[in-house]
Amino acid sequence: MSLPAPDSDALAASHALQQHIAADIAQHGGAIAFSRFMELALYTPRLGYYSGGAAKLGAEGDFTTAPEISPLFGAALARAAADIIAQSSPNIIEFGAGTGKLARDVLSSLAEMGIKVDSYTIIDLSGELRARQQEMLKDFPMVAWAESLPATFSGVVLANEVLDAMPVELVVKTASGWQRQMVTIDNGEFAFTQEALDPVLAAQVQRQIPGADQLQEGYVTEIHPVAAGFMASLAAMYKDGKGAAILIDYGFPAHEYYFEQRIGGTLMCHYRHHAHPEPFFLPGLQDVTAHVDFTAMALAAQDAGLDVLAYMPQAAFLLACGIGELLTRTDPADALRYLPQARAVQKLLSPAEMGELFKVLVVGKGVELDPAIVRADRSYRL
């Protein structure tokens, strides 16, 4: 691969993380599950991609998220949040808040609507991003940071591009059936090996993958037990409260996710705005993600007691939330202001950009969504 070379400090940090992962492999008898490798690569304190010091977002980072593209993204989410708050409580939790821009845009829009938010709690594992969030949100006294979910909660949960960063299990179809992809060390390099599925993972494969037994030998894909566990945790948090969680990410329903031609799975890495499929490249310096199986997420939420309130492409959700009307608040005759906003909204809505690949799943308890969102619902496709 022809990718930009890291500086000496970044390279040293990656080497330190590689040694840490190698020690973990040795401690576990010579191989660890890929999910464990991904967890270490992303979340090892001070060295992992999300817990180290590298800039992740924007022109100098590895990717750009919707809140960075346009403030109208947050303004549209604020409209959905306002309806949920009216039926529950004026509290918001955001997971993985990035630079803090989504929080700022949502809170600013709610304030313009006359809605007072009592608490806006950010749960984020990135220390470097937390510092940026604190600077971005210094004028919003209701914002606080937490390390974990509260025991009970009423209000709105926001999670934009969070599920895709949760560690996944890799499984491969072999001549003897499905096996778990493990990470070992071969000639000083990380390499894949396989082991038999344990009963829990075997059951997940059969439930999550439609026609699992018919897929061809060599088929590699992902199972999402961590993300499914997160959905169950949301349900536990809402057990004595009410509200809804809005989860936005790229992915598919199961019947599209495990398409027979998608033989290599969806695992993808992002390094300084370059996408590639090599998870062992410079651990700690690149993002490692997988597309979200939204059917599995909806089932996990439903199994744990939440209602599946809506599922649809991002474009349909933002349009239902009135992003078009929000755009027209800027006079089209003012080309210097209007055209950049229109281009940004086009990127959020276009099927060729983020409009179709990104999906929105809304799960909750004790609340109803705005009728415009209900009309756009495609949860029957899950």
The model's pLDDT over 311-336, given as tens digits with 9 standing for 90+, comes to 999 999 999 999 999 999 988 898 99
Q: Which residue spans within the chain are E strands per DSSP? A: 32-33, 91-95, 119-123, 143-146, 155-160, 169-174, 177-186, 189-196, 220-223, 243-252, 268-271, 274-276, 287-289, 292-293, 307-313, 358-365
List, for residues 97-109, the tens digit of each pLDDT value.
989 999 999 999 9
Strand bridging mode 287-289 / 268-271: antiparallel
Residue 133 tokens read as: 């969030």
Phi/psi at 128 (5° precision) = -65, -40
Buried b (16+ CB within 10 A) or exposed e, 308-334: bbbbbbbbbbbbbbbbeebbeeeeeee
Strand partners, 220: 172
Strand partners, 247: 159, 361
Domain 66-165+233-257+291-381 fold is Rossmann fold (3.40.50)
**Res. 56: pLDDT tops 60:** no
Residue type, 257: Y
Which pLDDT band holds residue 51 (cuts at 50, 70, 90)?
confident
**Res. 55: pLDDT tops 80:** no
Q: Where on the phi/psi map is residue 99: left (φ > 0), alpha (ψ -120 to 50), or beta?
A: alpha
Q: Classify residue 361 as exposed, middle or buried by CB count within 10 Å of its CB (0-12, 13-18, 19+).
A: buried
Cα radius of gyration rounded to whole Å, the chain: 21
Which pLDDT band holds residue 307 (cuts at 50, 70, 90)?
very high
Q: Where on the phi/psi map is residue 148: left (φ > 0), alpha (ψ -120 to 50), or beta?
A: beta
Q: Report the distance separating Cα 374 and Cα 315, nearest Å.
A: 14
- Residues above pLDDT 90, as percent of the chain: 87
Residue 354 tokens read as: 């983020």
Q: Report the distance separating Cα 233 and Cα 216, nearest Å.
A: 34
Phi/psi at 104 (5° precision) = -60, -45
Check residue 332 and report its DSSP letter. T
Contact 319, 326 (CB under 8 A): no
Please choose, from the candidates 364, 361, 377, the residue with its C-alpha nearest in 3D space to the C-alpha of residue 252: 361
Q: Report the distance separating Cα 115 and Cα 107, nearest Å.
A: 9
pLDDT at 1: 62
**Res. 242: pLDDT tops 90:** yes
Please choose, from the candidates 175, 106, 178, the residue with its C-alpha nearest in 3D space to the C-alpha of residue 142: 106
> What is the Cβ-side half-sphere exposure of residue 296, based on CA atoms within 13 angstroms?
29
**Res. 29: pLDDT tops 80:** yes
Check residue 63 and report its DSSP letter. B
**Res. 84: pLDDT tops 80:** yes
**Res. 31: pLDDT tops 90:** yes
* DSSP states along 14-76: HHHHHHHHHHHHHHTTT-EEHHHHHHHHHHSTTTSTTTSS---BSTTSSB--HHHH-HHHHHH
Domain spans of the chain, in order of start: 66-165+233-257+291-381
pLDDT at 273: 79
Please choose, from the candidates 95, 159, 99, the residue with its C-alpha nearest in 3D space to the C-alpha of residue 292: 159
Q: Report the distance separating Cα 352 and Cα 62, nearest Å.
A: 20
> Between 127 and 135, whose confidence is greater?
135
pLDDT at 5: 84
